[in-house]
Amino acid sequence: MDLSFTQEELDFRDEVRAFLDEKLPKELSEKVRIGGELDKEDMDRWHAILNEKGWLATGWPTEFGGPGWSPVEKHIFEEECAKAHAPRIVPFGLAMLGPVLQTFGSKEQQDQILPRILDGSDWWCQGYSEPGAGSDLASLKTRAVRDGDDYVINGQKTWTTLGQYANKIFCLVRTKTDGKPQEGISFILVDLDTPGIEMRPIKLIEGGHEVNEVFFTDVRVPASNLVGEENQGWTIAKFLLTHERTNIAGVGFSMQGLTELKALARRVKRGGKPLIENPLFAARIAQMEVDLEAMKITNLRMLYTAQTQGAPGPETSILKIKGTVIRQTQNELARRALGPAAAPFPSEDMFGNAALAEPEDVHNAATYFNNRKLSIFGGSNEIQRNILSKAMLEL
Amino acid sequence: MDFSLTEDRRMLSDSLTRFLADKYGFDHRKTVAYEAPFHDTDLWSEMCELGVLYALAPEDAGGFGGAGFDVTTVFEALGKGLCPAPVLGSLLASSLLTSAGADQAGLLDGSVRYAAAIGELDAPYDLDDIETTFEGGKLSGRKSVIYGGNDAEVFLVAAKSGDTLGVYEVKAADAQVTGYGLIDGGGAAELFMDGTPATEVIADARHALEHALDLGRLALCAEAVGLMDATNEILLDYLRTRKQFGVAIGKFQALQHRAVDLETEIEQARSITILAASRIGEDDQAKIVAMAKNLIGRAARLVSEEAIQMHGGIAMTWEAAVSHYAKRLVMIDAQLGDEDYQLEKVMAGYAA
């Protein structure tokens, strides 16, 4: 048993810290720190900085232009980025489509698409969920019908995150209607400029524009845009779901969240004393901190499994369930700590003289509401339990 | 980073697990754990021959272990086998004797049974609350629920001499000892002292006592992990085989999701026990051990209560093994500081 990093890993951590210290723009980290909304320019800027260093596609092997990091190195990088308030790397091209093309894509697709993901030429978004196919993804109805050298797509996708910035979308579409629903799904790449596509914003619970719905009406896509074989889409979708799960616990974000929560509870006063001296409130923080300490080790244990035995198994669903609940508990405690000062809608007026609190408090309640998504997206926590029940507990 | 056990520890774990499965099977355990002396003294000797106690003490004290992971290796196996033997008392006493630099050959070879008399009725967890006194070579006071005290020959007693907390040795023969069995198996005792002759082992024992208690808490965490694994195995087997409404009850989502929640908490419990074992001897030992015992307290009760509930009526019977695991899992919280006590220790560092 040895829970510490090797000297090489510690050296790597120092290198990451030095890089972030030097290259992460202060305007960006401040925006992230206060929970503000990043725009496309912000995200492209950070991607370009990482790409220049060769650290953008953290999960890619070197042959495709990734850094070829081990699971532990990837974890260290993610933890340090969270600590430094670096913007999240947008996952759709880099963490989702990239590995899919590397595993299932043709040589031409790899050569054409992967470099454009790295240099920011393309911004990909995800066309998975539909109004009638959420947790039951296999029931999706968007049709792709073969017509000569094309597929003709009709249907609707939803929850398309950051689709407003995208020029490309990867979709799961139905290419066969008989037999088991899982066996009639294909994975296809679509240019968003193609005639017949309309993207509409969905306004979220806290008022933000993060997701969209995408409508397809007689959209003609070259058959060469198919990834893998026709009707192999479900295999690809499952691969995507089990891949890239090392950061699913969001341990780095939660560690940062704990530090900020404690700072907040020391700053605000109740009964003339810092809130953190209230034993009821302190106990709530402490219980969450204990769960987080355990989570850190659970995460490392699964990284160790990934590092020594290849890919981690279905037990990573544990990380998703526990990690999201911890994060949501932090958001809940932070919102409570601020009390009524959490209520005003975030606006420019809330900074400066009229500020009820510090800049990082302005988005407090919005963050709480927005992060209710954590236990819903990426396979809801109930779906994770279904997966674990079957694959791990064999029930 | 390496989450595997060393070869030596794996061998110890395997041999103790096999020994308990062979000799301390559930039916035998059920008989001996609830009748004085509340464990099998012949098997105690055999366990000592296996080296169970030597593994708990460092080399310079005559043992061959004593590190956090030695303690967890032994106690996880004890938990898995639901073993009622008084190893916890031996661990606490051994740690105190190690701190004192005193001879403990008799303790380690199992020939002399020691128990640590630290808690009192109104001071079950916190050393600050101890009222037993040492004056002029004599001890006065009452020690309560001393694990393994029912058939111990020597007690190491925590008592105040003036304002200083010390550890003193008392022969069982010189004091009034009332032994009894515990609801979850195994034995304990009340120790009544009134001018009872005692010899000093450690004059200023604050640190030694805290360290012994931390090792004890770590041991209980590991025991709970073993207990939870075994309980979970029994439960999952039941969910897969018990049929109602024509199907295995494990097919019901209402039970599946709860089974997953147990699995999740067990993995978290395992993680924090590993973390605590790795921090023994480090600056943050007390805080991390407190964190571990807090999480264990919550997880163990959840596993216990849910295992009973999902089994239904059968788990309410004395005949079912799961009932006895469930009792041990709940009562472990009350040993050496419950979840609230431990949480307060975690919170203590917040104010600054």
CA A93 from chain centre, in angstroms, equals: 11
User: Residue A310's pLDDT is what?
Assistant: 78
User: Residue A35's pLDDT is what?
Assistant: 85
Domains A124-232 and A245-391 alike in fold: no
Pairing mode, if any, of strands B154-161 and B164-171? Answer: antiparallel
* Confidence at B177, pLDDT banded by 50, 70, 90: very high
Across the interface, whether the CB atoms of A3 and B239 are under 8 A apart is answered no
- Fold entry, domain B207-347: Butyryl-CoA Dehydrogenase, subunit A; domain 3 (1.20.140)
User: Residue A355's pLDDT is what?
Assistant: 66
Q: How many CB pairs under 8 A join A and B?
A: 131
Report the C-alpha gap between B133 and B151 in whole angstroms.
Answer: 24
Distances (CA, A) of B13 to A64, B71, B73, B89: 45, 11, 6, 20
Domain with CATH 2.40.110.10 in chain B: 114-203
User: Taking 70 as the threshold, does the pLDDT of residue B26 lie above it?
Assistant: yes
Asked if CATH classification 1.10.540.10 holds for the domain at B7-108, the reply, yes or no, is yes
User: For residue B105, which phi and psi values (nearest 5 degrees)?
Assistant: -60, -40
CB nearest A389 (choices: B259, B277, B288): B259
Mean confidence (pLDDT) of chain B = 97
B347 touches chain A (CB under 8 A): yes
User: Residue A248's pLDDT is what?
Assistant: 77
CB nearest A291 (choices: B263, B268, B277): B268
CA B11 from chain centre, in angstroms, equals: 21
Domain with CATH 1.20.140.10 in chain B: 207-347
- Chain A, 6 to 45: residues with Cβ < 8 Å from chain B are 6, 9
- Fold entry, domain A245-391: Butyryl-CoA Dehydrogenase, subunit A; domain 3 (1.20.140)
User: Residue A239's pLDDT is what?
Assistant: 87
Distance from CA of A393 to the nearest CA of B (A): 7
Q: Give Rg (Cα) of chain A.
A: 22
User: Residue A249's pLDDT is what?
Assistant: 81
pTM above 0.90, yes or no: yes
Of B106, B91, B107, B84, the C-alpha closest to B36 is: B84
Domain with CATH 1.10.540.10 in chain B: 7-108
Nearest CA in chain A to B233: A393
Q: Which two tokens stand for residue B142?
A: 């009452």
Q: Which of A3, A12, A324, A395 to mutate to test the interface with B (most CBs of B within 10 A)?
A: A395
Specify the amino acid at residue B336. L
CB distance A94 to A162 below 8 Å: no
Specify the amino acid at residue B117. A
Q: What is the DSSP string of A209-272?
A: EEEEEEEEEEEEEEGGGEESSTT-HHHHHHHHHHSS-TTTT-HHHHHHHHHHHHHHHHHSEETT
Domain B114-203: assigned CATH number: 2.40.110.10
Across the interface, whether the CB atoms of A276 and B351 are under 8 A apart is answered yes
Residues B253-263 pLDDT 10s: 999 999 999 99
The structural domains of chain A, with segments of one domain joined by +, span: 7-89, 124-232, 245-391
CA B56 from chain centre, in angstroms, equals: 13
CB distance A108 to A227 below 8 Å: no
Average pLDDT, integer, range B79-95: 98
Question: Looking at per-residue confidence, does A240 or B31 come out higher?
Answer: B31
Report the C-alpha gap between A257 and B106 in whole angstroms.
Answer: 52
Any catalytic annotation for residue A244?
Answer: yes
- Fold entry, domain A124-232: Butyryl-CoA Dehydrogenase, subunit A; domain 2 (2.40.110)
Weakly modelled stretches of chain A, pLDDT under 50: none
Average pLDDT, integer, range B222-240: 98
CB distance A294 to B271 below 8 Å: yes
